[in-house]
Amino acid sequence: MTKPIIRIKGLKKSYGDLEVLRSVDLEIMPGEVIVVIGPSGSGKSTLLRTVNHLEVPTGGTIFLKDTLINDTSLKGRAFERHLCHIRTNLGMVFQHFHLFPHLSILQNIIEGPTQVLKRDKQQSIEQAVELLNSVGLADKKDVYPDLLSGGQKQRVAIVRALAMNPDVMLFDEPTSALDPELVGEVLSVMESLATKGMTMMVVTHEMDFARKVADRVIFMDGGYIIEQGTPEQIFNNPQHERTQKFLASIHL
């Protein structure tokens, strides 16, 4: 039987008195595309950030295959190795691209593979060019991020994460900072990744994308997963009043 690639159990996160994640349980299967929706402040980003260990949970466990992500027993070099393993296997794409402005597009992409993973430079360049080609940006490899549109920058950010050969890709509102006419080009790259079998966890307000690409839609509110199901179930027949209210509020 196939095992989950990510297992989240009893996950909690507080900032002082503010409980942001109250108790989240979630298992993600290899190749599954999960879209996370919910009102602002419901804990969606925090969920993604704890999975990538950018935030340390207050309670609960997150496993990537057999690795406990929030392993607090690791110190020093062992912890650094652990973090490197997590960041390599979980690619993350943010709302604001976070490209290095002083590096060319190619340098941005090979930085992780060559510096962190110590891979061969020539091979990393070849892989980067291939990936850039797959998102229609092969001709941009030698320019600097400033010269690209937001949609192009975000496609580069996706390529940069993919260059580490991650098992899972996490997207936190990847199209929210883009001009409307640039949203489609990023979503279509994400859709093609999903089609190729990438395991993905996507926070987005793009409901058409969710309907078309998600295997499962998760609705969060107040630090809980309130409801989850297929796009059909969640969008056409939401069971929980809070889900119904949220969906009504965003004018589907």
Residues 5-24 that bind ligand ADP (CB under 6 A): 15, 18, 20
Stretch that binds Mg ion, among 4-12, 37-45, 224-232, 234-242 (CB under 5 A): 37-45
By CB under 5 A, the count of residues binding Mg ion is 2
Residue 1 binds: one of ligand ADP, Mg ion, none (C-beta under 5 to 8 A by kind): none
Measure the CA–CA gap between 82 and 194, rounded to whole angstroms: 27
**Block residue for tokens 């002083």:** 102
Residue 197 binds: one of ligand ADP, Mg ion, none (C-beta under 5 to 8 A by kind): none
- 40: contact with ligand ADP by CB under 6 A: yes
- How is residue 42 written in tokens? 């419901």
Measure the CA–CA gap between 33 and 216, rounded to whole angstroms: 7
Among 11, 28, 35, 42, binds ligand ADP (CB under 6 A): 42
CB of 66 to ligand ADP, least distance (A): 27
Stretch that binds ligand ADP, among 38-46, 62-70, 73-81, 194-202 (CB under 6 A): 38-46
- 44: contact with ligand ADP by CB under 6 A: yes
CB of 238 to Mg ion, least distance (A): 21
- 45: contact with Mg ion by CB under 5 A: yes
- 57: contact with ligand ADP by CB under 6 A: no
Residue 72's contacts (CB-CB under 8 Å, 6 or more residues apart) are 56
CB of 22 to ligand ADP, least distance (A): 11
Q: Are 228 and 234 in contact (CB under 8 A)?
A: yes
Residue 43 binds: one of ligand ADP, Mg ion, none (C-beta under 5 to 8 A by kind): ligand ADP
Relative to beta strand 18-28, strand 6-15 is antiparallel
Residues near Mg ion, by CB under 5 A: 44-45
Which residues lie near ligand ADP (CB under 6 A)? 15, 18, 20, 38, 40-46
